[in-house]
Structure 1
C-alpha cells in the first residue's frame, strides 16, 4: 500500500474522536501518561515534536506522513518491522496547555481503532505530561492469532511513546 492510495479509504471503526473522552466498550483500552519535564519552554518543545510525529519516531516507529505536521485529514503509514499500517488524523488538540492529535485506522491496518498522542502543561505545578490514549480490537485473522504478542507489543510501544519526548 502506498501513501497516495489512502485518501479514498474510510476509517475502520465508527467511534471517531472517542479518545478525547470515555473510551468505547468492545475494545482494548489504553490510557497512560508520564511527567516528562517542567516549564512552559519544555511544553512548547514537546508539543512541537508531537505535532511532527515525534512520539512515534522517538519510539522507533517508521512514519511516512502526507504532511510534515499532523493535521485533520493527514494520512500516515506507520511501521514496525515489516508491518506498514495505514492511519488518518481524525482530530487535533491545539489548546494553550495541551497539544496533540489522534489518528484512526484505515483498511489494511491489523487493528481497528484510534490512538491519541498529546502533551499537557499543568500551570499549577509546572509539570509537562506526555499522554497516550487508545482503543483497539483485532481487524485481521493474524492479529487475532497473535493476540498475546500484539498485546505485549502495544504495552511496550506505549511506554516508548511516553519516553520518546
Structure 2
C-alpha cells in the first residue's frame, strides 16, 4: 500500500481537483452534502490538543485509515488515505484546499484528486465554545467518481457515514487519552 500511496502522493501536486470548488457555502449541483458534529471534551483547555491531533492526521489514523502525507494538514499539502485490508486497500488522494485558523476555530478542508473514488470536499473543524467545551464538526459534499463507487450506491454512502463517525470518535478518544 505504501508504495502505491507514495507514488500518488509524489504526483499529487501536478493533479487538478476532480470537482468544482464551491462558493457561498453551498455544494455544487448534484452532490450529496452532510454535516456531523460531536462534543469531544467538556474542557475548553483541550482545544489545542484536539487541533494538534487533527492537523497531524492522527484523527484519520485513529479512525483506522492508513495515511501517507507530505506534512501536517495545511493549505497546499497533500495526503493519500487508505481504507481496507491489503491487497484490497482503496486509496484516496486529496489536497488541502483551505485552512480555518482563528482563536476559537481551527481545521482544514481537503478536496479529491484523480484516483479518489469520490469527487468532492470534506471539512474538519475543531471549535472551542466557552462554557460548552470542544466540538468537532465534519461537513462534506461528494458524489461517486468511479464505476464501483456509483454501483455501490447506498453501500458507498454507508461507508462514508461510518468513516465520518470513526473520525468523530477518534478525536474524542485522542483528546481524552483513552
Report the aligned-residue RMSD. Answer: 1.4
How far apart, CA to CA, are the structure 1 residues paired with 2:17 and 2:40? 32
Equivalent-residue separation in structure 2 for 1:43 and 1:23 (angstroms): 28
1:122 maps to which residue?
A: 129
Q: CA deviation digits over 1:74-115, x for unaligned, max 9?
A: 111110011011100001111100111110000111100000
**So what's the TM-score if we normalise by structure 1?**
0.92
> How many residues are matched?
161
| Matched residue, 1:101 | 108
Residue in structure 2 matched with residue 53 of structure 1 by the alignment: 57
Mark the runs of 5 or more structure 1 residues left unpaired by the alignment.
none
Mapping of residues 71-86 of structure 1, within 5 Å: 71-81=74-84, 82-86=89-93
User: Aligned-pair distance for 1:7?
Assistant: 1.1
1:55–1:117 Cα contact (<8 Å) kept: no
Q: Deviations over 1:32-90 (max 9, x none)?
A: 001111233211110111111122111111110011x1111111111001101110000
> Structure 2 regions of 5+ residues with no counterpart?
172-178
Contact 2:80–2:92 (CA under 8 A) maintained in structure 1: yes
Say whether 1:161 aligns with 2:167. yes
**Equivalent residue number for residue 37 of structure 1:** 41
Moved beyond 4 Å, runs of 4+: none
Higher-helix-fraction structure: 2
- Scaled by the length of structure 2, what TM-score is found? 0.86
1:5-39 deviation per Cα after TM superposition (whole angstroms, max 9, x unaligned) = 111000001125x5x83333311112000111123
